[in-house]
């Protein structure tokens, strides 16, 4: 029987004789029972309880600590100019790259570097017979790795933000490969900026890059890229 059920059954008896509970206690704690009852009737225990309630009440209404706001980031004159220019064109397409062919040789070289030699990428004969695309396709990560050249980021004569002293690839928020890039097709990138945020000595930019496949309605890759410009 659970202790709670036992006490419920004995509740009426305890109401008439509360000291009967002492007889049920084990000898190891029975000696503490009388001491507890003495303290329960002691004014010091009552005062202690009152003090605890007051302290708990004070804690409940104590003001929360003030949260210090970070100091505003001061941008250089050129960084501020670029920021305002970007904000005026958020969501709009700012760059369309040149066409680039993704041939079998490029796919084979990527397979050699990454050691990903799946037949859907490197075996044209088998792909022609067994693949639903009837040809080999580029690795998704190959398409992703081409973003730098497709957005002209590696060409110093075609920089999107030429006034920045340094552009850093900070990472990717999201990547999807909606449609395979077949061997021999041409692709190009279309870029739009989603947001711009001041950082120390520069700007952080989130841009959406869509890799367009020539003659195909669906893109081969859609990536949310994060770059940092330092001025």
Residues 208 and 175: their CA atoms lie apart, in Å, by 10
Residues 177 and 221: their CA atoms lie apart, in Å, by 4
Give residue 158's pLDDT: 82
For 189-203, write each residue's pLDDT tens digit. Answer: 999 999 999 999 999
Average pLDDT estimate for 143-171:
90
Residues of the chain with CATH 3.10.129.10: 78-230
Is the pTM of the predicted complex or chain greater than 0.85? no
In sequence order, which residues have a C-beta less than 8 Å from that of residue 203 and are 6 or more positions away? 75, 79, 82, 83, 86, 196, 197, 228, 229, 231
Residue 146 buriedness (CB in 10 A; 0-12 / 13-18 / 19+): buried
Flag the least confident range among 32-41, 103-112, 151-160, 167-176: 32-41
177 CB neighbour count, 10 Å cutoff: 19
For 8-30, write each residue's pLDDT tens digit. Answer: 565 555 555 555 555 555 555 55
Tokens of residue 192, six digits: 């739009």
User: Which class is domain 78-230?
Assistant: alpha beta
Residues 145 and 231: their CA atoms lie apart, in Å, by 26
For 83-92, write each residue's pLDDT tens digit. Answer: 999 999 899 9
* Mean pLDDT estimate for the chain: 84
């Amino acid at each position: 029987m659970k202790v709670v059920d036992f006490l419920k059954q004995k509740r009426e008896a305890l109401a008439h004789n509360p000291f009967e509970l002492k007889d049920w206690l084990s000898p190891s704690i029975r000696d503490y029972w009388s001491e507890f009852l003495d303290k329960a009737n002691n004014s010091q225990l009552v005062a202690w309880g009152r003090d605890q309630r007051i302290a708990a009440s004070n804690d409940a209404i104590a003001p929360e600590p003030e949260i210090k706001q970070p100091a505003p980031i001061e941008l250089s004159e050129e960084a501020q100019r670029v920021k305002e220019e970007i904000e005026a064109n958020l969501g709009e397409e700012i760059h369309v790259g040149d066409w680039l062919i993704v041939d079998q040789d490029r796919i084979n070289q990527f397979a050699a570097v990454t050691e990903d030699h799946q037949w859907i990428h490197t075996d044209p004969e088998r792909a022609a017979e067994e693949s639903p695309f009837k040809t080999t396709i580029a690795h998704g990560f190959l398409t992703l790795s081409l973003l730098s050249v497709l957005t002209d980021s590696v060409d110093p004569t075609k920089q999107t933000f030429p006034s920045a002293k340094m552009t850093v690839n900070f990472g990717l928020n999201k990547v999807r490969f909606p449609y395979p890039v077949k061997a021999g097709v041409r692709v190009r990138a279309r870029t739009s900026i989603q947001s711009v945020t001041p950082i120390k000595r520069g700007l952080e930019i989130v841009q959406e890059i869509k890799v367009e496949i020539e003659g195909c309605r669906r893109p081969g890759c859609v990536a949310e890229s994060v770059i940092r410009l330092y001025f």
